[in-house]
Amino acid sequence: MKRSRINAIIRESEAFIRSQGWVLPPFAAWTPEEFRARRDEARALIDARCGWDITDYGQGDYDRMGLFLFTLRNGRLADLRAGQGMCYAEKLLISQDGQISPHHTHVIKAEDIINRGGATLVVELHGSEESGAFRTVMAGR
């Protein structure tokens, strides 16, 4: 995906987020210079994979299969493997009408899925069998 398209998605998403009454944290607007000046704080954000994430899942067709995410807070896998840390993630996700996201899984993660944008959100939750095969737990709107 071209940088100009990513920048356009960020601008559109920022406008949508504001229209829903949300305010992003200050680090959302940090420049590269501000990240360097706040090296320790930035390292914690980077290690927790916080911030902007725009993906087309490598398919080259964001409008069909893509997702906008802004991670506000997130546990670190290394901490969880050590039996400590935060197993919770807080993310803003924006999907366009008709846009889909493929299955994904977390070995250790707790998520609340709250639809605050007014559209219909369809979610399928799956467990797994001992063999690793998916088992549908719940599908709903």
CA-based R_g, the chain, Å: 17
Segments making up each domain of the chain, as ranges: 3-102
In the chain, % of residues over pLDDT 70: 83
- Residue 121: per-residue pLDDT: 76
| pLDDT above 60 for 75 | yes
| pTM (2 d.p.) | 0.76
123 contacts 103 by C-beta, under 8 angstroms? no
Per-residue pLDDT for 19 more than 80? yes
Question: What tokens does 101 get?
Answer: 């996201």
List pLDDT tens digits, range 31-56.
999 999 999 999 989 988 899 999 99
* Whole-angstrom distance, CA of residue 138 vs CA of residue 86: 25
Share of the chain above pLDDT 90, in %: 40
- Where is pLDDT greater, at 93 or 87? 93
For 3-102, the fitting CATH number among 3.40.50.1240, 2.60.120.10, 3.40.190.10, 2.10.69.10 is 2.60.120.10
pLDDT computed for residue 107 by the predictor: 66
Residue among 29, 35, 38, 30 at smallest CA distance from 11: 29
